[in-house]
Every structure is written in structure tokens, then in C-alpha cells.
Structure 1
Amino acid sequence: MAGPATKSVVPEEGKKKARIEIIPLIDVIFFLLATFVLFTLSLNKIQSVPVNLPVASTASSSKSDDDTVTLQISDQGTCYWNKELINLSEIRPRLAHYKTQVAVPRVLIAGDDKAKFGITVQALDEVRKADIQQVSVETRVRPTGR
């Protein structure tokens, strides 16, 4: 009675179904993503402005700090040369005279809290025209005339 119609269907025990494992695939994708991000960041050119940073000096240079000229710009467009009120047109002759009097001329440009940017740039341009190399721009705000 055991004929072809009564044949039982039993899968073979040695063969397994093929499966795609997701966990290792996710690991590979994250590795490729991290590699791509790091490679892309290394391709960016960082553009910067060259800056001459000051170097530390001895305590005997405190006398030379008195030679620094403070040029302050106020919100009304007036200028102060070491706390002395001057016109914007007086900056160029004073810088020329100052450069002849001091071996290493230094200028500190400062402004009060509402100083105009254009006048400050004009003062900086006058310092550049006088060929003074050591120029500092103060980043903290001072009261006018101090």
C-alpha cells in the first residue's frame, strides 16, 4: 500500500535556508560612513590670515611700554592721541613725528562703545601709510578720552 501517492514530504535535515544577517551589514555601513566623513573633512583647506604674535620679553621692557601711542576713536568721530583731543587730519603728521622720535614705534587703536567703524579704519589706514609695523587694536571698550 505504500505507493507513490502516499510518499511523505520531509525536508532534508542537513540543508539550511540562506539568510542575510543585518547586524554585520549595519556595522560595515557605519564604518564606511565614518571613513567617508573623516576623508571629506581632511580635504577642506583651512584658510587663515597670517598673524605675527607677540613674544614674551624681560621685565626691563616696561620702559618701552611708555612709548606706545594710544589712538582712541570716539562715537562723535573725534580722535584722542594719548588722551589729548585731536582732529582726524592731525593723525598723519603726529605719526610721522612720532616715528622719527621712537626707535620702535607702536600704536594701540582703541574705541569707545559706539565708535564708528569707518573712522577707525581711516585711523588704521593712516598708521599703515606711516609704515608703522607694530599696531594693536584693543578689543575691550573704554570710556571716551581715557
Structure 2
Amino acid sequence: MMFERSAIIDAPIDDVWARVVSADGINYEMRPWMTMKLSRGTGFLTIDDVTVGEPLGRAWLKLFGAVPFDYDDLTIVDLEPGRRFHEKSTMLSMKRWEHERTLSPLPAGRTEVLDRITFEPRILLRPATVVLKRTLQAFFGHRHRRLQRYFG
């Protein structure tokens, strides 16, 4: 399944990019529902620091920032610094997870953030997949609102 979510952020593209590719920025967007923590020793400071195509290791997803509930075996497969990244992963819950985020400059120093999510759950039950898609759409809406609030 696939869906897209977009938002307009009242900040210049360089400022938005610096935020969305940092560990602090990623976790800020996801709070309070969850956080993500990469394994120690990855050397991850921002997505700009990764080697494209090289697995980053297991990133644990923690419900409410405390309870591990899933992991993400994370690889950035494409990167256009300052504009776009494309992550492909497998997860405990997902056979396939792809997150592509593209930033586009807009007039008046604003930025459009577009997220394209493609996923395939390990358990393929149609009703559950529809609920999961709606949950993920709501979650990315939450992430965009948090980003707007940060720059607002």
C-alpha cells in the first residue's frame, strides 16, 4: 500500500532540512507517540552523514518513548542533501517499508514537505491493512503538525 502526506512549513528549506534529518528532529516529530533510537556505534548525526546504500543497523521504535514495540532495519537508498531522502527498510511488523521525504522551496521563505510511504505488512489481512494505512496517515499528519509547530 502507498499514500502521500504533505504540509507547508513557515521556514526556509535549509532550516527545515537541518531539522528533519537530525535524530532530535525526527524524534520531536514522532513524540509523544513514539521515538526511534539507532543502535550504538552507528555514528549517525544526521541523514546527511550516512553512506547511501549501507545499512545503518537496527533502529528501535519505542511506544511513548519507553516501551520497545518494533524495529526498523534502516537503509538510506537515495539522498539529495538539502532536498530529499529515500529510506528502504524491513521491520518486525513490515516486509517492506519505504519512506521518501522531499522538500520543495516555496515563495516567501516557506517549504513544502512531502512524505511518500509505501508499506507491506508481514500479516496480510485486508481489514487490518486498511486500519494500519489510516493509522499511518494520521501519524504522518501528526508529524507534519509537530513540524509546523516547531517552526511556527
Into which bin does the TM-score normalised by the smaller protein fall?
A: under 0.3
Q: Which has the higher helix share?
A: 1
Higher CA-based Rg: 1
Which gives a bigger RCO, structure 1 or 2 (Cα 8 Å, sep 6+)? 2
